[in-house]
Amino acid sequence: MSAASAHPHVWVDAAVIIHKNESGQIAAIEPVWVFDELYTATLLPDLDKDQSGTVEKNELLGFAEEAINNLHEWGYFLKAQNENGQALVFGNKITTESVLLNNRLLLRFKLLLDQPIMATEVIELKMYDPSYFIAIELVKDKTVSFLPQDEKSKGDCQYEMIDPSDHENNRTPLSELFYSDEEVAENPDLGSIFAQVLRVSCE
C-alpha cells in the first residue's frame, strides 16, 4: 500500500482563557476556537434551521451545545495536566457561546475544574483532534488570557508555547512524517504528534 500523509480538513485558530476564583486558584479553563472561513461557509446553511437566511443567536447557541456534547467523549480535544503528569479533572458544569466573527465561526466553552488548583502550579495544555481531521493551531498573540483582569487576581502569570517540532522526543521533522492508510486508521492519538503545548505558570 502506498504511503499517505495525514492531513486535516478543518482548521481552527485557538486561544485559552484561564479563570481564577476569589482565592486566586485556577478554577476553569476556557478554550476559544475560530474555525476557518471555508468550513464556516459550509456549516452555516445547516445552522439556519428556520431557513430565514440569517443564522440567529439561538441557532448559534444550539450549534455550540451540540458541538460540546459531541466533544465530551473525546475529552473536549483538551489534554490538561500538572507538571507531574497528573490529569486535571473537569466537572459537569460547562458554559458555551458561539458567534460569527469576520465570517468565521467562533466557539467558546468554559470547563470548570472539579477541584480548583493553586495558581502557582505549572499546568500544561494541549488542544488537538486525535484523528487529526481538525487541525488546531494556537494563535501567536494573546494565546493565553487571565480572568478576572485585575492585577490582584492575575498576579505574575506567564506562558510558554512549545511547538511539536521542538519537543525532545521528536527526532524526525514533522514535514517528513508519513503514514500509510492503515497506520492512520490504527493510531487513535495521531493528532498529539502535531499538537502544540502551552505551559502556564504563576508566581
95-146 pLDDT, tens digit per residue, is: 999 999 999 999 999 999 999 999 889 999 999 998 888 999 999 989 999 9
Least confident of 5-19, 76-90, 155-169: 155-169
The fraction of the chain above a pLDDT of 90, given in percent, is 58
Residue 1 pLDDT exceeds 60 = no
Give the phi and the psi of residue 66 in degrees, each rounded to 5. Answer: -65, -40
- Give pLDDT, residue 188: 64
Which tops the pLDDT comparison, 194 or 180? 194
Nearest to 128 by CA among 37, 197, 67: 197
pTM score? 0.84
168 has a pLDDT exceeding 50:
no
- What b/e readout covers 118-144, taking b as 16+ CB neighbours within 10 angstroms? ebebebbbbbbbbbbebbbbbeeeebb
Task: Find the angle CA(154)-CA(157)-CA(159) to the nearest 5 degrees.
Answer: 135
- Report pLDDT digits (tens) over 12-51: 999 999 999 988 899 999 999 999 999 999 999 999 999 9
Number of structural domains found in the chain: 1
Nearest to 25 by CA among 126, 140, 153: 153
Mean pLDDT across the stretch 134-161?
82
Q: In the chain, what is the straight-line distance between the N-terminal and C-terminal CA atoms, in Å?
A: 53
For residue 21, what are the domain limits?
Answer: 3-202
Q: Which band of pLDDT confidence, cut at 50, 70 and 90, is reported for residue 88?
A: very high
Average pLDDT of the chain, as a whole number: 84
pLDDT band at 155 (very low <50, low <70, confident <90, very high): low
pLDDT at 152: 56
Residue 185's pLDDT band, with cuts at 50, 70 and 90, is low
Instruction: Supply the pLDDT for residue 151.
Output: 58
